[in-house]
Amino acid sequence: MELACYTQPHPFHCSLMGSEPYPPFPAAGAAQHQHQPQPSRARAEPQQPAPPQPRAAEPTRMIADPLKGRLYCKGRLLGKGGFARCYEMTDVNSNKTYAVKVIPHSRVAKPHQREKIMNEIELHRGLHHKHIVKFSHHFEDSENIYIFLEHCSRKSLAHIWKARHTLLEPEVRYYLKQIISALKYLHLKGILHRDLKLGNFFVNDNMELKVGDFGLAARRESMDQKKKTICGTPNYLAPEVLHRQGHGPESDVWSLGCVVYTLLCGNPPFETSDLKETYRCIKQVEYTLPAFLSTPAKQLITGILKRNPSDRLTLEEILDHEFFTKGYTPDKLPPSSCVMVPELNPPNPAKTLFAKVTKTLFGKKKPTIKKGPSEEKDDISKLVVGLMKTSICRQMSYKTVEGNEVTPVTCPSISCSPVETLAEEGSRKSVSRSIRGTAASSCEAFEECIPASAVTESAIGLLKSCLSSMPPAQRNPASLACHEHFAWVSKWVDYSNKYGFGYQLSNHRIGVLFNDGTHMALSADRKMVHYNLTNSKHFAFPMSAIPEQLQSQTSVLRYFASYMEQHLMKGGDLPSIDEIEHPALLLLQWVKTDQALLMLFSNGTLQVNFYNDHTKVILSKPDHSCLLTYVTKDRNSYTYKLSSIRELGCSPELQYRLKYVLKLLQERADT
């Protein structure tokens, strides 16, 4: 089955109503704030995960170096492995903080176990590189061996991945360059790391990456000698390691490819629920590349994950790959990127007219005093009310760019609320901007999920066949008097520059596709919340029993529901359907261009909303006979069998829209 696909927001994407920063989305488990999807002029600091507290069974105590007499204050637990635990420790005299690996003597009682620890110490103390965790010193007392290492305050890429699920390509390039720099140094010194994974890439206070944990590292005695021990983390093991053919530098490169895949796609490439099946997939190099990945990213991953080690890209070839040479790599990432999608600023970004308008409206940013959640919420509400009262959308005209031609577009008359106009019409203010997202479900309460790529391919085939064979006509065929009702998007809110894309279905179900690819839905009766983590993990909770980890997302979901209900008009006269009678569907992917919004759903439905006149085209298959529904600019809807249009033709205005939808789908299929 194809992996669920999703894409992070474009780095140039600005809010619909202003370019000022929004309140950040709290990480799972962080303090709950009910943020609202309107712009705020007050900058809020990103929520950082609360540091874990020391365990009650392991109270803070003093550790003394028996030879030098230096005292260290033992702090919180940072992590634990098979032989050791890692603690934060502070030198009492210098106040310097270390990450200290503590190995009980009882765990290394056998000679070969102690030899392993001593080899790790000897190897690590000889490494001096900007992107390798610095070794400081070590000592023993009657209970433990203590290895003092550089403290990385922002934990590891594993923690960042857990909070974010996926990273943007520029972020992956940023981290990957630093990892490769460290690996080149190690390999030149004849050292194999043998356990490259997210948890062994640490991030310091300056957002610099450091490769660490050399517990499985080993030296190559000669170029012909290879280490044949099976060691490392199962999901990242190379085929030759599993076949006991030896572990060389190419095996580290394989693990690096798995890391790249995991950061971009959200899961390791060979992960299954069964270890034997995982090993089989690795040996057969059997994995799936999600459709949402860029072509250079796909080519990079396939170039690394080759069964034959000699066929893999080298570290130098990775850096020379199109993924790096034609992609933007930031010089530094903001600390907030540890828990939320960063706002990156590549050199010479395109400046849209809307950005200029909002700069004129709001002026320069002013320093603000940090406010509490309730004050922040009040400020946001006041701003939106002010925008509605002044009806800003009536005072602005916008431009879209198609090729080299610049065409002025006048804002429509106020037949809808200003907020709705901003929500729908504002989406065309950026030049040919495409933003996508994905989620899927395997729960029986949801319709059988069709991959987004399959929906796209099917729609392309149907529209091609229809447009190529239908005769000329000046009017549409007769609309169906009665047909099976289907679910469609009646309202939507684009807040993807911070949280995600919200929508309301015609059955009154509310859905949000968050930027990290997860999907959350609120039932029509507002009693149940459905949460989709991946294409195989679906959870349902009563509204009264939402887990603490999902409280923040639920707050956003509830506010989206309230906002759309109060401020947005229904997008047409299509009848609503009962949620009980119709299986729930999920938004798989959405794409915004300068003219329209395209949405693909898990049941194969495709909907395209045109901004300029609010017309809509919906392709659906309620009875496996494709239907085409057209919502006109006066919000009246007409449903036809697509086969009837193919045989009888349709009006020029509908034909124009069908051709545009086909072109859009073909462009998406080629990327």
Average pLDDT over residues 94-111: 93
351/364 Cα distance (integer angstroms): 16
At 459, the pLDDT band (50, 70, 90 cuts) reads confident
Judged by phi (left if over 0) then psi (alpha if -120 to 50, else beta), residue 238 lies in beta
Output the pLDDT for position 508.
87
pTM above 0.85, yes or no: no
- For 415, other C-beta atoms within 10 Å of its C-beta total 11
Taking each helix axis as running N to C, give the angle between helix 652-670 and helix 452-469, from 0 to 180 degrees, rounded to the nearest 10: 140
Return d(Cα 9, Cα 12) in angstroms, integer.
Answer: 8
Residue tagged active-site, from 65, 91, 195, 573: 195
φ, ψ of residue 635 to 5 degrees: the values are 70, 15
If you average pLDDT over residues 257-275, what whole number do you get?
A: 93
Q: Is residue 397 scored above 80 in pLDDT? A: no
Annotated binding-site positions for ATP: 110
**Ranges of H-type helices in 363-496:** 373-390, 392-395, 418-425, 452-469
Q: Map residue 310 onto helix, strand or coil.
A: helix
Beta strands in 426-553, from DSSP E residues, in sequence order: 489-495, 500-505, 510-514, 519-522, 528-534, 537-542
β-partners of residue 218 are 192
- What's the rounded mean pLDDT across residues 220-225? 53
Question: Residue 612: what pLDDT?
Answer: 84
Name the least confident of 69-83, 343-357, 624-638.
343-357
**pLDDT of 641 higher than 50:** yes
Residue from 129, 151, 153 nearest 205 by CA? 153
CB atoms within 10 A of CB 423: 24
How many residues in total does the chain contain?
A: 671
What is the pLDDT, as a whole number, of residue 574? 58
Provide the pLDDT for residue 224: 45
> What average pLDDT does range 403-420 have in this prediction?
30
pLDDT at 200 over 90: yes
Take residue 266 and report the two structure tokens written for it: 């959200």
Q: Is the pLDDT of residue 376 over 80?
A: no
Q: What is the mean pLDDT of residues 218-235?
A: 62
pLDDT confidence of residue 559: 85
Residue 33 in this model has a pLDDT that exceeds 90: no
The beta-strand segments (E) located in 207-285 are 209-211, 218-219
Closest alpha carbon to 387 in 352, 408, 358: 358
pLDDT at 541: 87
Instruction: Give the span between the Cα atoms of 460 and 455, in whole angstroms.
Output: 9
Report residue 449's pLDDT band, with 50, 70 and 90 as the boundaries.
low
E-state strands within 277-378? none
User: Could you tell me whether strands 519-522 and 510-514 are parallel, antiparallel, or unpaired per DSSP bridges?
Assistant: antiparallel
The whole-angstrom separation of Cα 603 and Cα 449 is 6
Q: Report pLDDT digits (tens) over 127-149.
A: 999 999 999 999 999 999 999 99
Structure confidence at residue 535 as a pLDDT band (50, 70, 90): low
| pLDDT tens digits, one per residue of 486-531 | 788 989 988 887 888 999 998 889 999 988 888 999 988 888 999 8
108-122, 226-240, 274-288, 590-604: least confident range: 226-240
Domains contained in the chain, CATH given: 62-150 (3.30.200.20), 162-338 (1.10.510.10), 452-670 (3.30.1120.30)
**Both tokens of residue 578?**
């009962």
Per-residue pLDDT at 576 exceeds 60: no
Paired tokens of 498: 């911070």
Q: What percent of the chain has pLDDT over 90?
A: 43
Residue list, annotated binding site: 110
Q: What is the CB neighbour count within 10 angstroms for residue 647?
A: 13
pLDDT in tens, 380-389: 344 333 333 3
Q: In whole numbers, what is the pLDDT of the chain averaged over residues? A: 75
More confident residue, 516 or 463: 463
Which amino acid is present at 535? N
Taking only the tens place, the pLDDT of each residue in 288-325 is: 999 889 999 999 999 999 999 999 999 999 999 999 99
Q: Are strands 144-150 and 191-192 parallel, antiparallel or unpaired?
A: unpaired
Q: Report the pLDDT averaged over residues 636-654.
A: 91
Angle at 518 between CA 516 and CA 519, to 5 degrees: 135
85: left (phi > 0), else alpha (psi -120 to 50), else beta? beta
195 is catalytic: yes
pLDDT tens, position by position, 145-155: 999 999 999 99
